[in-house]
Amino acid sequence: MKYLIFDNELYFESQGEFKVITKKETSLVSPASAQDVSIAVVDTLQKQIAAPEKLGVIKEETLAGAFSGEYVTQWERLGQNLFQVIAIEKTRISEIYKYLGFENVGLVVPYGAAVREFLKLNNLFVEGKRLVFLDRLGSQVLLTIYHHDLFTAPRRLSTVPKRVVSELSRSQENYRAQEKSEAQIQFMVVTNDEEIYKEAIASGITNKDNAVIVQEQYPALAGLKSGKFSMHFLLPEQFIRLKKQKETKRHLRHLSLSLGVFAFSLIAAFNGFTLTRSAQMHLDSVRRDKEVLQQNLKAHYAAKYQDIVRGTSSAGLFCLFNSFLVSLPYGYHIDSVVIKKATSGVCRLEAIVYPDGNESLCTPMALAKSFKNAKIENILLKEKPAVKVVMEIGERG
């Protein structure tokens, strides 16, 4: 796996050595296989948005509308009904895939999120203090302020230590003004540049108790290596392309299966004319084994779901449950299905299903006609998109 910081220049590690190249030299990254590159992109914007978690469609529309159509967005949960929406310009994402190739990129995340993983890994967050990270990156210094998982858009500063400290003081004051907090906000300054560290202490803007120097040359790369990310930035047309690829693979699997069955039928028909009595007996034996396996499978299936139909007088419940399984759209998996008696003569079916992958969009549900009265609701399952299906069923099914 290759790890890369995408900015005006590209920063990466190769064979234990850090390298800086231009965008036109991306062939030097040399992915070993498809989706082999993880990228932290610097230019991002962030907003805190309040959205109702229980109203899935409204929440999705609220978060998606936080930025204009010129941006690609992802979001992460900060608290109850509170989200951080992170946006990257579409042109920036297009540039990444242009130089590295869509098939080579496995992950694109904000630089701020990658650095946050590095800070967490090294236990640099201090309770009750905001963390100001000053990252010496090539010919610039990037200033980012963190408060728990929330972070600001990185500011670009010159590499002159006195100017950096002056901008640090201004950024802290601006942050206090925006927060409008009655309590005095304290800052912890963390940097990977020794000169900036010494100048910050000498200027009096901080002290040794509230300043830390780290030895990591590229903290964002270290964060990419060790962190686990729930977001990945894709252009809308790339998202559609992935959907089409999955559909194509599904059709190819079905075609291969059909061809295999057809070829097997031809071979069986040809051998039917030439097989001896012993071969016919062997075939009969195989068929009997198949029937035994099918009976065992049916018995296992019935045992697994017997709690669903137990205690009900309607044989149609099992058929309805089976209809629900069959009508699930491709790409969805079942987390749970429960059928229980709600009131006298009425049962209640509750099912939770989730789609493949980490996509933030769910395929619209299109269930069987038996479920036309079902209530379908978008929810979060372990902080990932899922769907809840609820339907009340009369005693006669």
pLDDT in tens, 68-124: 989 999 999 988 899 999 999 999 999 999 998 888 899 999 999 999 999 999 999
Q: Considering 282, 304, 326, which residue would you say is the last residue of a domain? A: 304
Average pLDDT in the chain: 83
Total domains, the chain:
4
Between β-strands 2-6 and 37-41, what pairing exists: parallel, antiparallel or unpaired?
A: parallel
Residues 100 and 127 in one domain: no
The per-residue pLDDT for 395 is 52
State the CATH number of the domain containing residue 78. 3.30.420.380
Confidence of residue 299 (pLDDT cuts 50, 70, 90): low
Separation CA 315–CA 305 (nearest Å): 13
Q: Which residues of 361-397 are buried (b: 16+ CB within 10 A; e: fewer)?
A: ebeebebeebbeebebbbeeeeeebbbbbebebeeee
Q: Domain boundary residue among 108, 141, 156?
A: 108
**In-domain check, residue 164:** yes
- Residue range 226-253: mean pLDDT, rounded: 71
- H or E stretch at 19: strand 17-21
Q: Is residue 225 part of a domain?
A: no
CATH number of the CATH domain containing 146: 3.30.420.40
Domain-embedded: residue 295 = yes
pLDDT at 151 > cutoff 80: yes
* The pLDDT value given to residue 272: 62
Domain that residue 285 falls in: 238-304
Query: Which residue carries 């069923």 as its tokens?
Result: 393
Average pLDDT of the residues in 182-200: 92
Q: What is the per-residue pLDDT for 396?
A: 47
Q: CB under 8 Å to 143, separation ≥6 — which residues?
A: 132, 133, 134, 135, 154, 155, 157, 164, 167, 168, 171
User: In terms of domains, do 271 and 314 share one?
Assistant: no
Residue 142 has what pLDDT?
97
pLDDT of residue 240: 55
Q: pLDDT tens, 336-354?
A: 888 877 676 678 888 898 8
Mean of pLDDT values over 365-386: 82
Contact in structure between 294 and 372 (CB atoms under 8 Å): no
Average pLDDT over residues 387-397: 74
> Which among 253, 287, 304 is the end of a domain?
304
Residue 263 domain flag = yes
* Residue 33 within a domain: yes
pTM listed for this prediction = 0.60
pLDDT, position 212: 97
The answer to whether residues 4 and 31 belong to one domain is yes
The stretch 276-300 carries a mean pLDDT of 75
pLDDT score of 373: 82
